[in-house]
Copies of this chain bind each other. A is one copy, B any other.
Amino acid sequence: MAPEASPTPRGLLFVMTGASGVGKGTIRARLLERVPMFYSISWTTREQRPGEVDGVDYHFRTREQFEAELLTGAGFLEHAEFVGNRYGTPRAPVEAALARGEHALLEIEVEGAMQVAAAAPEAVLIFIMPPSLSELRRRLVGRATETPERIERRLARAREEILAAHRFRYVVVNDRVERAVADLEALIRAEELRSTRWPQSELEGVISN
Whole-angstrom CA separation of A167 from B196 in the bound complex: 9
**A38, CB-defined interface residue at 8 Å:** no
Contact across chains for B133 and A208 when beta carbons are under 8 A apart: yes
Whole-angstrom CA separation of A170 from B193 in the bound complex: 5
**A34, CB-defined interface residue at 8 Å:** no
Residues in B whose Cβ lies below 8 Å from that of A167: 195
Contact across chains for A206 and B133 when beta carbons are under 8 A apart: yes
**A185, CB-defined interface residue at 8 Å:** yes
**A169, CB-defined interface residue at 8 Å:** yes
Q: Is the interface of A mostly helix, strand, loop or mixed?
A: helix
**Size band of the interface chain A makes with B:** 35 or more
**A134, CB-defined interface residue at 8 Å:** yes
The interface stretch among A24-32, A47-55, A63-71, A124-132 is A124-132
Query: Can you report 11 A-B residue pairs in the complex whose CB atoms are below 8 A from each other?
Result: A130-B206, A158-B207, A162-B206, A162-B207, A163-B204, A163-B207, A166-B195, A170-B193, A170-B194, A171-B197, A186-B189
Known: A127-B195, A166-B195, A186-B187. 4 other contacts (CB 8 A): A133-B209, A166-B196, A166-B198, A170-B193
Contact across chains for A172 and B193 when beta carbons are under 8 A apart: yes
Whole-angstrom CA separation of A200 from B162 in the bound complex: 10
Residues in B whose Cβ lies below 8 Å from that of A191: 190
**A183, CB-defined interface residue at 8 Å:** yes
Q: Which of A167, A171, A191, A206 has the most CB of B within 10 A?
A: A206
Q: Which residues of A contact B (CB under 8 A)?
A: 127, 129-134, 158-159, 162-163, 165-172, 183, 185-187, 189-191, 193-198, 200, 203-204, 206-209
Whole-angstrom CA separation of A186 from B207 in the bound complex: 26
Residues in B whose Cβ lies below 8 Å from that of A187: 186, 189-190, 193
Whole-angstrom CA separation of A57 from B159 in the bound complex: 50
Residues in B whose Cβ lies below 8 Å from that of A203: 162-163, 165
